[in-house]
Chain A
Amino acid sequence: MQKRLAYSLPDEVLEHVFSFIQSDKDRNAVSAVCKSWYEIERWCRRKIFVGNCYAVSPGMVIRRFPEVRSVELKGKPHFADFNLVPDGWGGYVLPWIAEMAGAYPWLEAIRLKRMVVTDESLELIAKSFKNFKVLVLSSCEGFSTDGLAAIAASCKNLRELDLRESDVDDLSGHWLSNFPETYTSMVSLNISCLGSDEVSISALERLVSRCPNLRSLRLNRAVPLDKIANILRLAPQLIEFGTGAYSAELRSDVFSNLAGAFSNCKELKSLSGFWDVVPDYLPAIYSVCSRLTSLNLSYATIQSPDLLKLVSHCPSLQRLLVLDYIEDSGLEALASNCKDLQELRVFPSDPFGVEPNASLTEQGLVAVSLGCPKLQSVLYFCRRMSNAALVTIAKNRPNLTRFRLCIIEPRTADYLTLEPFDIGFGAIVEHCKDLRRLSLSGLLTDLVFEYIGTYAKKLEMLSVAFAGDSDLGLHYVLSGCKSLRKLEIRDCPFGDKALLANASKLETMRSLWMSSCSVSYGACKLLGQKMPKLNAEVIDERGPPGSRPESCPVEKLYIYRSVAGPRFDMPPFVWTMNEDSTLRLS
């Protein structure tokens, strides 16, 4: 009797319960319980995330989830950020927009990362979705300010327009004026990636002044410092703000105006921008520093003493992005002042210089690891490192979840012992049991991969470059890292054996990237033919791989799981290894 009751809960009740379940993993679990739960769940899922736009087709998504309001898609592999993926590779969003335009008229949010977005796509978005609210284009390209103008003109309910780090074609600075005078709903606007002279300041000011809910505003480099004060006064409710170029002639009236404007913003928690900083203007932000939780100074080419002074004013800092100009001394100050620090990213000011131009070594990172108990996420570029330092960091901070170390010179050894960094990174994976993301650098043998395979059980993403000795290294990782989803490898002596022996592992991962390794064309073909649930794609700009012997290694290999089969939008330098497309191979 009791049992039957449980099975006869009305659909509406189940739907209501499911509405509290937001995470994709949980939703997927719910849908796997039984057929009726699958049906109910698919009708009430509102958000979907597709980590690889080629893993599934838009039609499949739409058929299963008919009432979606928010879509997030990712396109190119991560190494595209470093110019390793040739232009024209793919990641076009237009097919998705075209199908969603018909199927999801009430779509509210589109979030894209590393995709090719054309003006045509933006225009289609603008005219297809009447209640469109959120557009986030992260590291995207292929569109211009014309497309933005279409969005501005048509999307009356737009709340968020975030172009973070996208590559936008600069055609006209007047697209902002396309927001009608009746438009007042902007909450978050990020145009920091736009090139010079992109934006009409007066249009910007008018927009800011009529949007009372504006909480996040990130301007581009072209907005001069002397305009900032005015903009801030129009939006004292801002929580996040990104300046333009932070430089002007030193004038006390400009300074005091600026300082006053900042002090008006009682809720400001996050600052960014700071191109071309004139240090004398930095004290203008001191009034907000005590509340700051996030500070992005990664464009600020100022020296250590100024950086040191600045971070000493920010005891609440949780997230800091900075150049190596901060030096070890600045990081030591950070360690003693900012006990809430969770994320630190230190970028190289002179990545191609032969000699270090700032006194930043492993000591700075060790200091932060010791002084900041909540440190979870690290991205650190430096020119020297030691195993001892890595072991210390690992023991100090077992709560690290993301650790990305880039020793700038490939294959650099421990500067104290001249040994590889196997032991150091081994300590990291051994102690940091919740590590989800790891990037390796420096001199490394197969041993480090053995450690990773043994200990890094929660590792989801691994980036490897110029490391390892043999296929054994790759085998350790593929066979040991249970949670691995993304693996990207460049310039390592990994070949066919480990890949083929662990072929089925690839079906449990989102993707594998291998470039400048030793995987042969024959092995790629084998994988493509034997593993129908994987798309194995060879990227080779030398010409068809079929024109060379099968044993010849391919330039680049990108393998990803997919239920959509091989894609049809491949450029001439990408070949699919799947059987039914062998026509293209010759």
Chain B
Amino acid sequence: MESGCSKNGETCPRLLELIPQEREWQTKRKDGETHLSSEEKKLELRLGPPGDEDIWSIKVTTKNNRERDEPVISLGYLSSTNNNRKHAFKFPSPEDHNHHHPVGSVLSPSWTKNHHQNHQHLTNPPPFLHVPPTPQQSLPAMANEGSQPCCTKAANMNAEEKPFSPTANTAGPPNTSLKRIAPGPVVGWPPIRSFRKNLASSSSSKPASEPPHKAANEKKAAEPSAKFVKINMDGVPIGRKVDLKSHDSYEKLSAAVDELFRGLLAAQRDFCGGGIVKKVEEKTITGLLDGSEEYTLVYEDNEGDRMLVGDVPWHMFVSTVQRLRVLKSSELSALSLGSSKQGKIPA
């Protein structure tokens, strides 16, 4: 693992003075450019071996225009002694901050500007802080981004979570903010509670008077981007939730259920063995849909009846299911009228 951190305690403190070259920290002028995505800005973060002091200390241009190495943090937080490189890193404490620096100085260090503004200017920051135009600096996001599959995936994850509908802001001129065509739903956005969703579609009495623009709008009731239903499993006290919209078939759902509970079930089995978490062999949970194995998947529909999962077309299932249960197959036969897959099970 490429980490200099664990080598010895001495190096770790210095690594925390993670201030790159001064130039990378200047704010960029937007200049009408479209918003850059996170991929395009790459922050070069190298947890390098000790001795790479040049990387980590910032070149501070003082008033005399003399360059000297100085951790930028010391301007903002630490006491003005510059001995910190030698001994254990002293973390900034609130008192230091208050004593040494008036409000404005927070903005003064090279984080923001080229030292054109220093402490004196900023005691009364002007309403519009001037951001000097600087050359666009492309900051690398993660080291080794290309070579590590997971990092690529992470970057892709960020790329996919773009505006979730391709055409919005129909009132007014088209938006030039960065819009990818991929409209995938964004988890947890907009930030409203689940009980506030589906209001437009679920109210039993439609609004009394249809406004003209709505009548012209042929779209059906809004499709929520997720449908979370609760799922409990026999023998596991803590229930989970599964988003049905992220699966498109019973097989995928079954696999997801297995993933959700496999670990929990193993943990349950181990629970009696004491507090230490040790690795218990996790058994795959299979046969949920055909009653062939230890567990079977059932659900409650919107009429409160308990049904075997798998009987109706997937879309119909998704629209009527209210909650799921993973029952022991042995209990199932006690409930059902027979071993047939048809019919409802009395709840």
A interface with B by C-beta (< 8 Å)? 79, 81-84, 87-88, 116, 118, 142, 165, 167, 169, 193, 197, 245, 247, 275-280, 298-299, 301-306, 323, 325, 347-357, 359, 361, 381, 383-384, 406, 408-413, 415-416, 418, 420, 423, 426, 430, 439, 443, 445-447, 450-451, 453-455, 457, 463, 465, 469-472, 475-476, 479-480, 490-491, 493, 495-497, 500-505, 508, 516, 518, 520, 522-523, 525-526, 529-531, 542, 548-553, 568, 571-572, 584
Contacts and interface: CB of A to CB of B under 8 A. Distances in A.
Which residue, of A167, A496, A504, has the highest number of chain B Cβ atoms within 10 A? A504
B207 A470 contact: no
Which residue, of A446, A447, A531, A553, has the highest number of chain B Cβ atoms within 10 A? A553
A411 B168 CA distance: 11
A551 B175 contact: no
Contact of A472 (B27, B171, B240): B27
| Nearest 5 CB-CB pairings of A with B | A82-B188, A415-B172, A409-B168, A493-B38, A504-B91
A88 B169 CA distance: 37
A205 B196 CA distance: 28
A497 B18 contact: yes
Given A381-B192, A493-B141, 13 more contacts: A142-B238, A169-B230, A352-B185, A355-B217, A450-B27, A453-B106, A472-B112, A503-B16, A518-B43, A526-B5, A526-B12, A530-B13, A549-B150
Contact of B238 (A88, A165, A245): A88
B188 A416 contact: no
Interface string B1-40: 1110100000011011111100001011010000110100
A470 B187 CA distance: 23
Interface of B: 1-3, 5, 12-13, 15-20, 25, 27-28, 30, 35-36, 38, 41, 43, 45, 47, 72-73, 76-77, 89, 91-94, 103, 106-107, 111-112, 125, 127-129, 131, 139, 141-144, 148, 150-151, 154, 157-158, 161-173, 175-179, 185-197, 199-200, 203-209, 211, 213-214, 217, 219, 222-226, 228, 230, 237-241, 263-264, 267, 275, 277, 304
A384 B151 contact: no
Contacts of A277: 205
A411 B167 contact: no
A350 B222 contact: yes
B207 A413 contact: no
A323 B238 CA distance: 34
Contacts of A496: 18, 43, 45
Summarize B's interface: helix, strand, loop or mixed.
loop
Nearest to A304: B211
A453 to B, nearest CB: 6
Given A443-B35, A469-B28, A526-B12, A301 B5 contact: no
A571 B263 CA distance: 9
B189 A82 contact: yes
Given A409-B163, A491-B158, A553 B208 contact: no
Contact of A497 (B19, B185, B187, B223): B19
Contact of B188 (A280, A490, A525): A490
Contacts of B93: 504
Contacts of B263: 572
A439 B16 CA distance: 30
Contact of A87 (B103, B224, B226, B239): B239
Contacts of B304: 197
A84 B187 contact: yes
Contacts of A439: 191
A274 to B, nearest CB: 11
Given A409-B168, A447-B131, A549-B144, A351 B192 contact: yes
Nearest to B208: A279
A83 B15 contact: no
11 contacts: A83-B228, A118-B237, A197-B304, A355-B219, A357-B214, A409-B164, A410-B186, A463-B191, A526-B5, A549-B148, A571-B264
A465 B189 contact: yes
Nearest to A542: B150
A309 B237 CA distance: 50
Contacts of A354: 165-168, 219
Contacts of B192: 82, 347-348, 351, 381
Contacts of B168: 354-355, 383, 408-409, 412
A352 B223 contact: yes
B150 A548 contact: yes
A148 B38 CA distance: 48
Given A87-B241, A446-B27, A413 B41 contact: no
A585 to B, nearest CB: 11
Contact of B207 (A302, A383, A450, A516): A302
Contact of A325 (B77, B143, B166, B207): B207
B1 A550 contact: yes
Nearest to B185: A352
A252 B239 CA distance: 47
Contact of B158 (A299, A501, A516): A516
Given A530-B12, A552-B150, A353 B219 contact: yes
Given A351-B190, A469-B41, A518-B38, A491 B161 contact: yes
B25 A472 contact: yes
B197 to A, nearest CB: 7
Contacts of B170: 355-356
A526 B16 contact: yes
Given A408-B190, A450-B129, A518-B141, A568 B275 contact: yes
B146 to A, nearest CB: 12
